[in-house]
Amino acid sequence: MPDDLSPQHRFGELSLATFVDRLTSSDPVPGGGSASAVAASLAAGLVAMVAALSDRPKYVDHAALHGRAQEVGRRLATRFLQLADEDAEAYGTFAAAAKLPRETDEERVTRSAALAAAARKAAEVPLATVEACLELVSMAESLVGRSNVNASSDLYVATLLGEAAARGAAENVLVNLPSIGDEGLAGKMTSSVMSLLDSIEELAAAAQAMVRDGATREPLPE
């Protein structure tokens, strides 16, 4: 793993300008998987912000939801930044495995096993990002019509970012599956990620339509 990703230099501790500067470099990390997770972290921050902005008498009937949304938004914002680091680490492990010697049969077997294990991890991390995106978009959808109307566009942006992040992470799942060498597992992970994407897209579309409509909703049942 590059020195820049040592514990004291995680992506979450970089300035935004520094992170973007690293994206523009020829270094393969951070890449698309980390960028997707960071985008999702921004979306989670928006969810927490909207909930905080809704702490007003006008929205008191939804206070419990706002409390949960702040907790979920903050937790996911942190989790997505962790996943950004994990994605970079997984890529580093895969790249290291690809450089293993393969001159003898024994070396080729060792290298193949290392690549398969690394590819599995490189698929599992972005899959976790997609799973977390479903929780994120679901929370954003719940807030629409139950939160500060002046911040409704922020929820719209949160769903856009959350869906885009999920799509990006999903591509990083799928691209690693052939290297796992386990068709059964690859099939299960493909099915899982596509199902998650369907749910995320449905929730995001519903949330966006409600924002445009501007309707209010009844409190969620306790």
Residue 7 has pLDDT above 50, yes or no: no
**pLDDT value, residue 222:** 75
Residue 143 in domain: yes
């949304």: which residue's tokens? Answer: 69
Residue 191 in domain: yes
**pLDDT value, residue 9:** 66
Q: Where are the alpha helices (DSSP H) in 24-61?
A: 32-53
Strands (E) located in the chain: none
Q: Is the peptide bond before 30 cis (omega within 30 degrees of 0)?
A: yes
Residue 52 in domain: yes
Residue 7 in domain: no
Residue at 198: amino acid letter: D
Give the span between the Cα atoms of 7 and 177, in whole angstroms: 28
Averaged pLDDT of the chain: 93
Give the span between the Cα atoms of 106 and 118, in whole angstroms: 18
Q: What is the pLDDT of residues 153-175, one digit of tens each?
A: 999 999 999 999 999 999 999 99
Residue 79 in domain: yes
Residue 103 in domain: yes
Nearest to 119 by CA among 176, 55, 62, 197: 176
Q: What is the CATH number of the domain that holds 59?
A: 1.20.120.680
| Residue 201 pLDDT grade (very low, low, confident, very high; cuts 50, 70, 90) | very high
Residue 218 in domain: no
Residue 4 has pLDDT above 80, yes or no: no
Residue 19 in domain: no
Residue 3 has pLDDT above 50, yes or no: no
Q: What is the pLDDT of residues 89-143, one digit of tens each?
A: 999 899 999 999 999 999 999 999 999 999 999 999 999 999 999 999 999 999 9
**How many domains in the chain?**
1
- φ and ψ at residue 46, rounded to 5 degrees: -65, -40
Query: Domain limits at 172?
Result: 31-213
Give the span between the Cα atoms of 155 and 162, in whole angstroms: 10
